[in-house]
Amino acid sequence: MKVALKVAGMTCQHCIRAVTGAIQALDPQAQVVVDLAAGTLAVQTSLPGNQVAAAVTAEGYQVLG
Ligand SMILES: [Cu+2]
Protein backbone atom coordinates (compact mmCIF):
# COMPACT_ATOMS: atom_id res chain seq x y z
CA MET A 1 0.00 0.00 0.00
CA LYS A 2 1.04 3.57 -0.46
CA VAL A 3 1.19 5.88 2.54
CA ALA A 4 1.51 9.62 2.00
CA LEU A 5 2.11 11.95 4.92
CA LYS A 6 2.79 15.61 5.44
CA VAL A 7 5.60 15.93 7.97
CA ALA A 8 7.05 18.99 9.69
CA GLY A 9 10.71 19.26 10.67
CA MET A 10 12.46 17.36 7.88
CA THR A 11 15.22 19.65 6.66
CA CYS A 12 18.24 17.70 5.46
CA GLN A 13 19.78 14.41 4.38
CA HIS A 14 20.06 13.34 8.01
CA CYS A 15 16.33 13.72 8.40
CA ILE A 16 15.75 11.60 5.30
CA ARG A 17 18.02 8.87 6.66
CA ALA A 18 16.41 8.99 10.11
CA VAL A 19 12.87 8.72 8.77
CA THR A 20 13.79 6.10 6.18
CA GLY A 21 15.68 4.04 8.76
CA ALA A 22 12.82 4.16 11.25
CA ILE A 23 10.34 2.93 8.66
CA GLN A 24 12.67 0.28 7.24
CA ALA A 25 13.31 -1.02 10.76
CA LEU A 26 9.65 -2.06 10.70
CA ASP A 27 9.46 -2.99 7.02
CA PRO A 28 12.86 -3.63 5.38
CA GLN A 29 11.16 -3.69 1.97
CA ALA A 30 9.65 -0.24 2.39
CA GLN A 31 10.45 2.29 -0.30
CA VAL A 32 10.58 5.77 1.17
CA VAL A 33 10.59 8.99 -0.83
CA VAL A 34 11.03 12.28 1.01
CA ASP A 35 10.44 15.66 -0.59
CA LEU A 36 12.12 18.12 1.75
CA ALA A 37 10.86 21.21 -0.07
CA ALA A 38 7.26 20.04 0.05
CA GLY A 39 7.56 18.45 3.50
CA THR A 40 6.04 15.23 2.29
CA LEU A 41 6.78 11.58 2.75
CA ALA A 42 5.62 8.86 0.35
CA VAL A 43 6.09 5.27 1.40
CA GLN A 44 5.41 2.06 -0.49
CA THR A 45 5.02 -0.47 2.31
CA SER A 46 3.03 -3.31 3.81
CA LEU A 47 2.71 -1.30 7.03
CA PRO A 48 -0.52 0.48 7.93
CA GLY A 49 -0.40 4.25 7.76
CA ASN A 50 -0.64 4.71 11.50
CA GLN A 51 2.49 2.60 12.04
CA VAL A 52 4.40 4.67 9.51
CA ALA A 53 3.22 7.83 11.24
CA ALA A 54 4.21 6.46 14.65
CA ALA A 55 7.72 5.62 13.40
CA VAL A 56 8.13 9.13 12.01
CA THR A 57 6.83 10.70 15.22
CA ALA A 58 9.20 8.57 17.31
CA GLU A 59 12.11 10.12 15.40
CA GLY A 60 11.01 13.55 16.57
CA TYR A 61 9.12 14.79 13.54
CA GLN A 62 5.56 16.05 13.56
CA VAL A 63 3.06 14.32 11.31
CA LEU A 64 0.60 16.93 10.07
CA GLY A 65 -1.64 14.64 8.08
CU1 LIG B 1 17.92 16.92 9.09
Domains held by the chain: number: 1
Cα 6 to chain center, whole Å?
Answer: 9
The CA 36 to ligand 1 mean position distance, Å, reads: 9
The CA 6 to ligand 1 mean position distance, Å, reads: 16
pTM flag (> 0.85): yes
Instruction: For residue 56, give its domain range.
Output: 2-63
User: Which residue intervals of 1-65 are DSSP H helices?
Assistant: 13-26, 49-58
Question: Do 61 and 21 meet the contact criterion of CB atoms below 8 Å apart?
Answer: no
Residue 25's CATH number: 3.30.70.100
Q: pLDDT, tens digit, for every residue of 6-65?
A: 999 999 999 999 999 999 999 999 999 999 999 999 999 999 999 999 999 999 999 998
The CA 12 to ligand 1 mean position distance, Å, reads: 4
